[in-house]
Structures are given as C-alpha cells and as structure tokens.
Chain A
Amino acid sequence: MDPVNFVILASILFAIGSAAVLLRRNAIVAFMGVELMLNAANLALVAFARIHGEIDGQVMAFFVMVVAAAEVVVGLAIIIAVFRARQTISLDEPAELKG
C-alpha cells in the first residue's frame, strides 16, 4: 500500500482534531482533539520515514509520545482542579475572565 495514503489519513485526523479543539465546548473533548492532532503528527512522521526509507521519523514519534503523555498528566490535573471548584468542565461556563 502506498505510504502516501497514510499521510492523507494523518491530515484528515489532524483536521478532525483541530475542529474538535475549536468547536467542542467540553474541556475533555477539546483536550482529546489535541491528542488526536499529536497522534496525527506521529502517523505522518512514521509514514514519511517509510517514504524516505529511514528510521529517523519513527524515533521522533517516540519522543512525541513521551511528551504527549506528560501533557496528559498536566492537562488532566488542571481539568480536575477546575471540575472540583465548579462541578463542570464546560468551556462556556467559566466566564469570569472577559474582554
């Protein structure tokens, strides 16, 4: 199978992820969108590594996975702190900061 198809799939996943971040009002879903974008980048890196016939891109994907895991830790901690304070994680609800 042509590896270019995987690049196209990665672009579609990236677009879905960014749409989720920008359009969904639930913090967890928006955060899942970010994760989808990171994984799309991973898929693109691996597919390009296959196209170029080298393993650099695959090694990069490992780095990205580790960073994404660290990001989940911090992100969920903040989301849980917000939830404990307000009992909701809607992004429309917290509206103390305006202007």
Chain B
Amino acid sequence: MSFVTPEIAWAPLAPIIVVLGAAAIGILVESFVRTPATRRAAQLGLSLVALIGAAGVAVVQWAGLEGAGTEVLAGMLTVDRQALAWQIVILVFGALGALLFAARTRAGEEAFTSLGSVAPGSTEETLARRKGMQVTEVFPLALFAVGGMMLFTSVTDLVFLFVALELFSLPLYILVALARRRRMLSHEGALKYFLLGAFSSALFLFGAALLYGATGSASLTGIADGIATVSGLDPLILGGAVLVVVGLLFKLGAVPFHSWTPDAYQGAPTPVTAFMGAATKAAATAALIRVSYEAFYGLTWELSWLFWAVAIASMLLGTVVALVQTDLKRMLAYSSVAHAGFILVAFAGFPEATLAALPFYLLAYGLATLGAFAVITQVRERSDDGTVLGEATRLGQWAGLGKRSPLLAGAMALFLLSFAGIPLTAGFVGKFVAFAAAISEGAWPLVLVAVIASAAAAFFYVRLIVLMFFTDVPDGQEEAIEVDYSPLARVVVVITAAAVVLLGVVPGPVLSAFENAAVLLIGSAG
C-alpha cells in the first residue's frame, strides 16, 4: 500500500499559521525567559505583532483573492472573502483583548492571579504573590483561542469544525478560572462554563456523526448534497442538523442554551470577559452562517421554527432578566443573551443580505463590548484605609461616576447607547442592516419583536447612564470608589469609542467591504 503525500496550499492558511505559530513560540518564551517583567513584555509584544501581522496578511489575501476563494486540504477548509472578513474581525478583537490582558492598575496589580494552581487564601498564594509571580501564559492561551476561532470561521467539515471548536474553547475555560480577585467566583464560573461547553460540543459531535451516517459525508457540501437527494424526511438528517445547530447556539449564548453566560461573564477576569464576549460570539456566528448556508440550506423550512423560537426567547428573556440585575457584569451578560437573539433574527429564512449584515453587527457589538468591559476595569472599590480593591461592579457604586471621571463615564454611555442601538452609534447601523436582512425574507413579525425588545432593553442601558450622570455620589461614599488609570486600558477605551462613533457616522466603507465579503465559496462535494 502506497501513500500519496497530500498537497497542501499553505499560503491561504498564512494568517492562521502566524497566530498559532506565535502561540507556540509564546509557550517557549514561558519556559526560557525567567524574569516575570521581561516575560510579560515579551509576551505582549509577541501577541500584538502576531495578531496585527496576521490581520495584515489577511487584508492582503482579501485584496488578492481571485474568484470566490481557495479550497485547502482537499476541501476541508475554504478561504473565501467571508472567512477572511470574520478572521480580521476576530484578530481586531484579539489585539484589543491582548492590550487589556496586559493592563495593570496604578498600584501595579494584574487582572490575573499570581499562581493559578494554589487555593485562594492559602499561604502558598501569599508567597507566590510576594515573590512577584505572574501568569503570563494567558497571552499564548489567548493566541490559541484566536487561532481556533479563525479556523472555526473557515472550516467546511463538521468533524474538523469540532476540533476547531475545542481548540478555542479549552484555552477560554482556563482563562476564565484565573481571576486575581474573587477567585472562588472565578473557579465557579469556569466550572460551569466548562461543563456546559463540553456538553454542547458533545451534542455538536453526535449531530455531526448522525449527519455522517445519513449522508455518508461530514463535509458541508456533501451533507447538502445528501439532504437534496434523500427523499422524504430522514430522522437522522433532521436530528443531526438540530443537534449541530444547538451545539453552535450554545456557543452563541442563546436561550435556552445561555445558562453558562452570566456565570462565566461575572466570574471571569474582566479582560477575559471582554475578549470572550466579543470574539466567541463572532466565531460562533461565523460558523453558524457557514453551516446554515452551505449544509442546511435545503432544511430552511424545517429549521426556521428553531431559529424563530430561540431568537424570540433570547430577546425576551435576555432583556427582562437584565432589567433586574444589580451586578454590572451580569447585566451585560444578559444583554449579550438578548444580542444573541438579535443576531438570530438575521437568520430568518437564510437571506443573502445576512452575509454582509452580521459581520458588521458583530464588529459593532464586539467593539462596544470590549470598550464597556475596559471601562469596568478602571472603576475600583477603595477600602477605608485607602487601599484599592477589586472592580466595583455593583450598579449603585457607579452613581455619580460622571462627576468623578466625565470622560470614562462618557465613553461608557457611548458603548451603552451603541448596545441599545441609538442612531449615530455603530450599534444602530448593525441592528438596521441585520433587521433589514430579515425583512427581505418577510420575517416582519420577528423584526417587530426585535424592535420592541430593543426599546425595552434601552431602559436598563439608559438607567445606568442616568445613574452615572444625574445621580449624586451617596453621602459618605465619596472615597469608596477609585477611578484607576491604566494606560493600556485607556488606549482600548479610546480606540473602541472612536471606532463606535466612526462606524456609526460613516459606516459606508466598512459596510461595502463586508458586502464585498458576502460570498461563500461552495466547494465541490467531498
């Protein structure tokens, strides 16, 4: 028996290889650079160079792409403009996330624990902190996650998609567990995120196995062909398709698969929440688009009830539960559930316009998420003797922030207005194009619910703005809050705020770029 060496077109994979290669180098840096301060600087530099470099390579590829795109690894992976657009979006989130990971408070406190393996409050923990140990592995872990997400956007084989799903999920589970303060909370969030994430990927995999059984192929195009040729409704096909979609909806955080979202968002270190909230949603949406449009197009009618029901449930539950939250991170988590619903609205009837609308929606949403959580890292509690503690995430603690720091509060207000979809912010344009896509397929009842939910959601965003600007600092609490200053976090706030305004006022260039990217390469059946 002779083996034929497979021919692999490496060039189209360049952005992914750069990121994953940098992650491997980051692991080596971890072993060979001994002083924590140098290691941290080296890791941050390496991450930024890799992420921005990969984004540059992706842009060059996009400009030079002939036809719809390229098939790599015998059709297991397609690099088309849609995939490149998503990869660039994720790389932008990754670079902003890396800046937040490296941000330190004025007192030099990290967002991450000094040693993840020791128990909270133990003597070992105190010792590790005194020795100045730092968990700089977070940078390579984030790079692995970014690489996995980039693969997730372009893979066209369900089993390979499962591998990419785990490649980006596993580092995120670890990152969630590494908070410096409130470590029990962080552990608990990580445990729930891990168990539900593993459960959802198992559902996804079993769905993929059923589809392979029914159609004899695990590739998206092969499954599409199988769906077209099988006469009647094969229960294997329908069951498999529902399981695969449910697995992806878990990652998107849509109701009723959202139960990990609030815990993971609240427990995770805030920089991780920012990165995870922005990038995971983008990757999950990209994969859901590819799977729906390439494999399940023939099941549009059978699957639409699922998308409709989940979209409506997510919008209503996310909005209603966010109204009663008292913790800021938890409130933003439920708002992300509502946003998962808005994203799913664009899937009603699988319209073409979705391919251009959702990258913009996710870009706008992710930038505002990164910015909002970057602001949260800057507002901290202060104890009676003046030491700065952890982040002040109770809503009441934000009263009067506008007087303490008008710029920070103004940026937060901008991000909240963008979440709410107020005109002249990026969020408005995102919602507009997403809902217009759904209207084009006649899903106006769904859009009606979405508009009502947006209006209701505006209430709790505006409530926080009122709290920040029009409420006085409670008596005796003047010294209880410290507005921290971390240059890196401030850079992220400035970049995201500028981008949110820019995308809201002149969305044209970015929108037309994404319209250019609204092409999926439908490969030959594998």
Closest to B205 in A: A41
Chain A nearest Cβ from B183, distance in angstroms: 7
Residue B159 is within 8 A (CB to CB) of chain A in the complex: yes
Q: Would B267 and A97 count as touching, CB distance under 8 A?
A: yes
Contacts of A44 in B (CB 8 A): 206, 209-210, 213
Q: Would B187 and A82 count as touching, CB distance under 8 A?
A: yes
Please report which residues of chain B, range 175-228, place their CB below 8 angstroms from some CB of chain A when the two chains form the complex: 177, 183-185, 187-192, 194-195, 198-199, 202-203, 205-206, 208-210, 212-213, 216-218
Contacts of B230 in A (CB 8 A): none
Give the size range of A's interface with the partner: 35 or more
Q: How many residues of B contact A (CB 8 A)?
A: 48
- Which of B18-26, B100-108, B113-121 touches A? B113-121
Q: Would B212 and A60 count as touching, CB distance under 8 A?
A: yes
Q: Would A85 and B194 count as touching, CB distance under 8 A?
A: no
Contacts of B27 in A (CB 8 A): none
Q: Would B330 and A78 count as touching, CB distance under 8 A?
A: no
Chain A nearest Cβ from B321, distance in angstroms: 8
Chain B nearest Cβ from A96, distance in angstroms: 5
Contact with B along A40-84 (1 / 0, CB 8 A): 110011011001101011001001100100110011011101101
- Secondary structure of the A contact surface, majority rule: helix
Closest to B165 in A: A67
Q: Would B159 and A60 count as touching, CB distance under 8 A?
A: yes
Closest to A93 in B: B188
In the bound assembly, the distance between CA atoms of A94 and B175 in angstroms comes to 19
Which of A56, A67, A77, A86 neighbours the largest number of chain B CB atoms within 10 Å of its CB?
A67
Closest to B210 in A: A44
Contacts of A57 in B (CB 8 A): 209, 212
Q: Would A85 and B183 count as touching, CB distance under 8 A?
A: yes
Closest to A34 in B: B198
Q: Which 3 A-B pairs have the closest CB atoms?
A: A37-B202, A48-B213, A44-B209
Interface residues of A (CB under 8 A from B): 7, 10, 14, 17-18, 21, 27, 30-31, 33-34, 37-38, 40-41, 44-45, 47-48, 51-52, 54, 56-57, 60, 63-64, 67, 70-71, 74-75, 77-79, 81-82, 84-86, 91, 94, 96-97, 99
Beyond A85-B183, A94-B188, 8 additional contacts (C-beta under 8 Å) are A37-B202, A41-B205, A44-B209, A48-B209, A67-B162, A75-B173, A75-B198, A78-B190
